[in-house]
Amino acid sequence: MDYLYSILILIGLFIILASSFDLVIGHCGLISIAHPIFYAIGAYVSAMLAKHNIMPIPLAMLSGGVVAFVASALVAVPALRVSGDYLLIASIGFQLGLIELAKHIHEIGGAGGLTNIPSFLIRDYGRESYVVLVLVLAGLTVLFIKWLTQGPYGRMMAAMRDDELAFSMLGRNAIWVKVSVFGIGSGIAGIAGGLYAHYFRFLEPDQFGLLQSSAVLTMVVVGGLRTAWGPVIGALVLQLMPQMITFFNLPPSVLGPLQGLIFTGLVLVFMFKRPQGLLAAPVIWTGKAPEKRGA
């Protein structure tokens, strides 16, 4: 049963990660792939706060989200004042730099990883309760982002993304929109980090590196940028596929390379055959589905 639970939990967590990442990169058009570092910040902050009994675990998770929110603002404010590509570079620098730093801090486990993180809910209510918690939060995240992007705030984001100059000419503050969206997305990732930490109870700096960045990016791209359900489908497909392959009873010499080929293969196929992802988003924001536009 644990297997099914941990898959469901990882699917839930990756739905949260991919959706919040889509908010940043898809809806707001901010080019950053450092999303996992905010996931890591949330995980580590929550784990440390709970481990040292500073606060109860739910509060610790929230605090992880808040710290991730603040940290993302620290990256975004200076980086976004310039323009697009700088955020990419600054955020990767921030991601890799922080991972390096974490490896050298012995209080948080260093390169060897943080062990003995207290578990949450499982002991009193069973693992099922944690699955429910994660899936409910994943659902709420999707709905929240859907609500956010379809309201006035969403129209502002879309306008800013599609033509920043025109947006500024209307007297709007593009920096504020960018920083706040980046912060919200990162804060959500931080909370997901806390959820990861208190179920799997082991964190290692290296697991939040560029490999995870590419995994989340693949989920968003395969699922479909700027759609509410695209990241959900992406997370489902990319979490389940590697697992399904293990059930074909393949010899290890085939299994290994096959697993490795999935991610790269999928990205290539989608780049050429369906660049818009499984679900297509409207080209320009109208609040309507693509086929209804112009009707």
Partner 1 sequence: MKAHWTLKSGAALVLATLLAGSALAQQTSYKFGMAMPLTGGQATYGNDQVKAAQWAVEEINKKGGINGKPLEMIVMDTQADPQVGIQSVNRMISVDKVAVFVTAWSGVVKAVAPIANDNKVVELSVGANSPDISQLGDYVYTTFPLADVDIRAVAGYSAKEMGKKKAAVLFINNETGLGSATVYRDTFKKAGGEVVAYEAYDQKATDFTGPLLKIRAANPDIIHLQGLVAESPQVIAQARQLGITVPITSYSGIYNQKLIEQLGAAAENVIATSLAPGVEDSPLVKDYVDRWVKEVGRAPNGLPYTQYLYDTPALVAAVFTALDKKGIAPTGENFRKEMLAIKTFDLPLTGKVTFAEDHTVNKPVYLVEVKNGKWTKKAVVGQ
Cα 46 from Cα 290, distance rounded (Å): 41
Residue 272 in contact with partner 1, rule: CB under 8 A = no
What CA dihedral angle connects 243, 246, 247 and 248, to 10 degrees?
A: 130
What CA dihedral angle connects 201, 37, 25 and 9, to 10 degrees?
A: 0
> Of 73-81, 82-90, 250-258, 278-286, which part binds partner 1 (CB under 8 A)?
250-258
Give least dist CB 128 to partner 1, A: 5
> Of 50-58, 71-79, 100-108, 139-147, which part binds partner 1 (CB under 8 A)?
100-108
Residue 257 in contact with partner 1, rule: CB under 8 A = yes
- Give the residue, chosen from 86, 144, 153, 202, that forms a contact with partner 1 under the rule CB under 8 A: 202
Residue 263 in contact with partner 1, rule: CB under 8 A = no
> Of 143-151, 187-195, 198-206, 226-234, which part binds partner 1 (CB under 8 A)?
198-206
Q: How many whole angstroms from its chain centre is CA 90?
A: 18
Cα 44 from Cα 201, distance rounded (Å): 11
Residue among 110 and 282 whose Cβ is closer to partner 1: 110
Query: Helix (H) and strand (E) counts for the chain?
Result: 12, 0
- Give the residue, chosen from 63, 76, 204, 266, that forms a contact with partner 1 under the rule CB under 8 A: 204
Name the nearest CA neighbour of 279 among 241, 225, 239: 225
- Give the residue, chosen from 56, 126, 265, 275, that forms a contact with partner 1 under the rule CB under 8 A: 126
HSE-CB of 151 using CA atoms within 13 angstroms = 7
- For residue 153, with 0-12 CB atoms within 10 Å meaning exposed, 13-18 middle and 19 or more buried, which class applies? middle
Name the nearest CA neighbour of 21 among 166, 174, 164, 232: 232
> Of 40-48, 63-71, 111-119, 269-277, which part binds partner 1 (CB under 8 A)?
111-119
Residue among 11 and 157 whose Cβ is closer to partner 1: 11
> Of 53-61, 167-175, 202-210, 267-275, which part binds partner 1 (CB under 8 A)?
202-210
Give least dist CB 198 to partner 1, A: 12
Residue among 5 and 86 whose Cβ is closer to partner 1: 5
Residue 93 in contact with partner 1, rule: CB under 8 A = no
Cβ density class 179-215: b for 16+ within 10 Å, e for less? bbbbbbbbbbbbbbbbbbbbbbbebbbebbbeebbbb
Phi and psi at residue 68, to the nearest 5°? -60, -40
The interface mask with partner 1, positions 6-25, x = CB under 8 A, is xx--x---------------
Query: Footprint of partner 1 on residues 130-149 (CB under 8 A)?
Result: 132
Cα 249 from Cα 256, distance rounded (Å): 12
Positions touching partner 1 (CB under 8 A) are 1-7, 10, 100, 103-104, 110-113, 115, 126, 128, 132, 200-202, 204, 206-207, 243, 246-247, 249, 252-253, 255-257, 259-260
